[in-house]
Amino acid sequence: MKLTARSSLATVALAVGGVLRRHGISAVLTGGACASLHTDGSYVSKDADFVIRGAVRQAALDSALGELGFERQRDRYVHPRVRFYLEFPPGPLAIGSDLDIQPIEVDGGTGPALVLSPTDSCRDRLAAFYHWHDRQSLRLAVSIARAHPVNLQAIERWSQAEGSLEAYREFLGELTRPKPTRVRRV
């Protein structure tokens, strides 16, 4: 697959995830890029974060990403034509204190990529809201929950375990609030 300056974040992230899988590297798309994927691009991050599961040699990662034109620059991978960069935060794969994360597969044309499910992507954004009071992450969690079926009972149980039931109630309030409508001026 050829990536260009016009490639969307979702296209780039899924291409990377597919190439990594083909090279035997188990890496899960997380963070803002995953939220972008689950909101059809309504949010665009500057990077795509992948958490690697298991041990991977740096040379193997460099080789796999080089297949798409990415080169390592210190702690990130950049592409000469793509405006998004790649980062690989240290594992383990977790959302808050929950380590039992089951990614899903999404095929973006280069093979199946591992990504957080809509429910887990929603929880991932809520974790940023709960722990850092990041209002943009709250809005993203609401957007994900409006775009996809999410398991609200599982999110509530997790929120309770995180000590964030009050913040979860705020999320529910935002989720049930009517979506603002845009007024067209003539």
- Residue 94 in domain: yes
Q: Are residues 20 and 97 in the same domain?
A: yes
pLDDT-based confidence at residue 185 (cuts at 50, 70, 90): low
Q: Are residues 59 and 101 in the same domain?
A: yes
- Residue 170 in domain: yes
Share of the chain above pLDDT 90, in %: 89
pLDDT-based confidence at residue 72 (cuts at 50, 70, 90): very high
- Residue 123 in domain: yes
In this predicted structure, the answer to whether residue 104 has a pLDDT above a threshold of 90 is yes
**With a threshold of 0.95, does the pTM exceed it?**
no
Q: What is the per-residue pLDDT for 137? A: 96
In sign, the C-alpha dihedral spanning 79, 75, 134, 159 is: positive
- Residue 58 in domain: yes
pLDDT in tens, 19-67: 999 999 999 999 999 999 999 988 889 999 999 999 999 999 999 999 9
pLDDT-based confidence at residue 183 (cuts at 50, 70, 90): low
Q: Are residues 45 and 103 in the same domain?
A: yes
Cα separation of 85 and 72, whole Å?
10
Where is the domain boundary, 64, 80, 115?
Answer: 115
Q: Are residues 91 and 135 in the same domain?
A: no
Q: Are residues 80 and 150 in the same domain?
A: no
- Residue 107 in domain: yes
Domain that holds residue 64: 9-115
Q: Are residues 21 and 100 in the same domain?
A: yes
Where is the domain boundary, 115, 132, 164?
Answer: 115
- Contact of 27 with 114, CB cutoff 8 Å: yes
Q: Are residues 126 and 170 in the same domain?
A: yes
Q: Are residues 43 and 92 in the same domain?
A: yes
In this predicted structure, the answer to whether residue 143 has a pLDDT above a threshold of 90 is yes
Number of domains observed in the structure of the chain: 2
